[in-house]
Structure formats: C-alpha cells, structure tokens
Amino acid sequence: MTASELIASNIAALQQRIADACLRVGRNASQVRLLPVSKNHSVSAIAAARAAGITRFGENRVQELVAKATELPGVEFSLIGPLQSNKIKFVAQWATEFQGLETLKVAAGLDRRLQNLGRSLDVLVQVNTSGESSKFGLAPDEVPGFARELGAFDSLNVRGLMTIAAPGPDLARVAECFVTLRELRDRLQADQVAGSDWPELSMGMSGDYELAIEHGATCVRIGTAIFGERPV
C-alpha cells in the first residue's frame, strides 16, 4: 500500500467505527463529523485525505495552518488549541473554525478583524474538563458566564464546546470528562446562551473517540489513527 492508500483506508476504517459507535447508542452517523488532525504532517498527506473526501482539517499551530491553507486552496482549516493575540489576524483570515476560544480578549480581537474582512468564524469554547494544569481551557464553572459574554461578538458563530479528556487508560475518568462537557452544553443549549443553540460537542481523539461518541460527541478530532505517528 502507498502512503496515500493507507490514509484513505484508515479514513474508511474510522468512518465505519464511528458508524458502529453511533449504532450502539442509537445515534445517526450523520451527527458525528470526523475532523482529521494534520498537524506535523505533510501537504501531500492532506491531499491524500482530501482525495478520500475530507474537506476540513485540524491544525494546532497558526503558522502551520497558514502555510498549508496557502498551499491548498479550497481546503478548510480549523485551529484546535490556543491562540495568542499576535496571531489573531491570521486566524481571522485563514481559518474556517476555531476550537479553542477561552478569553474575551481573543474573542474581541477576532470579532474586530473578522468585521474588517467581512468574514465570520465558527467558534467552540475550550473547557478543561480533566482539571489538569497542563490543559488549556476554562474551568467548567467559568463557562456559563463566559458564554453569556459571547453574544456581543457578531462575527463569531458560537457553535459549542471542545475538550481534551484526561489522558491514559482510566476510561472511567475519561468518560467523566465527556459527561462534564455534555452536561455543560445541555445547560447552555436549554438557555440559548449567546443566541446559539450550541450544537457542537468536540471531544474524542484517536485513543478515546468511540467513548466520546457514546457520550454525545458531534466532532471527533483524529490525527494518529489516520496519518500515523507524528514526525517531530
């Protein structure tokens, strides 16, 4: 198998496992979107996934996102992870989605840049559900107050919440993170906070996406299981 064939076959296998996980809990597979995470992987790897029908990719470094978006017109990129103020203008111009909003300063900066460009951006608020200090995101109890402020930013399409679960083999602990995110989302949804119905729950990576789907994920972010180990 060539590298491109392997990527296509990994995507097909994942789509099947996503569909199977949906079936186990009575969900429709169309409710779960696969976001391949192409960080540290080449433009040719992205092109191979593109040929297999994928149109949007996740990147966690702004410079890399811009470089790839420049080389691959027509491919959409989602920034997954933190955004520093000095990179806001690049994200406003080049990203289709930002999964990682956690400060009002960045929200305001993005909104202003987007207005100047006549664009809008889908955003997900990142939540630290594991309580680990190494993880980005708001503490769960900070989210409702933060979310209410987002209604002020017309160019941000507030779509939902994103989290990275606790790492490691303790599945009960991982599941707790997913439940926390889902319960938070359900509250925001019930209250239509920020004028949004909060459709998105982005949770689950290569090691835990099936569990995430069973707990309601609408977007799974998957790198290694598609592209292999990341070159450093």
Ligand X SMILES: *Cc1c(COP(=O)(O)O)cnc(C)c1O
| Binding of ligand X by 80 (CB under 6 A) | yes
Work out which of 21, 27, 41, 81 binds ligand X, going by CB under 6 A: 81
What is the closest distance, in whole angstroms, from the C-beta atom of residue 19 to ligand X in the complex?
18
Work out which of 164, 174, 184, 213 binds ligand X, going by CB under 6 A: 164
Residue placing its CB nearer to ligand X in the complex, 33 or 39: 39
- The Cα–Cα gap between 158 and 189 comes to 11
- The interface region with ligand X, picked from 5-13, 166-174, 186-194, 203-211 by CB under 6 A, is 203-211
Identify the CA nearest to 146 among candidates 107, 97, 180.
Answer: 107
What is the closest distance, in whole angstroms, from the C-beta atom of residue 64 to ligand X in the complex?
12
What is the closest distance, in whole angstroms, from the C-beta atom of residue 18 to ligand X in the complex?
13
| Binding of ligand X by 221 (CB under 6 A) | yes
Work out which of 9, 103, 192, 224 binds ligand X, going by CB under 6 A: 224
Q: Is the Cβ–Cβ distance between 22 and 213 less than 8 Å?
A: yes
* Angle (nearest 5°) at CA 180 between 178 and 183: 105
Instruction: List Cβ neighbours of 26 (8 Å cut-off, separation of 6 or more).
Output: none
What is the closest distance, in whole angstroms, from the C-beta atom of residue 202 to ligand X in the complex?
8
Adjacency order of strands within the sheet including 33-36: 33-36, 219-222, 200-202, 156-163, 121-127, 97-101, 76-80, 56-59
Binding site for ligand X (CB under 6 A): 37, 39, 60, 80-81, 164, 205-207, 221-225
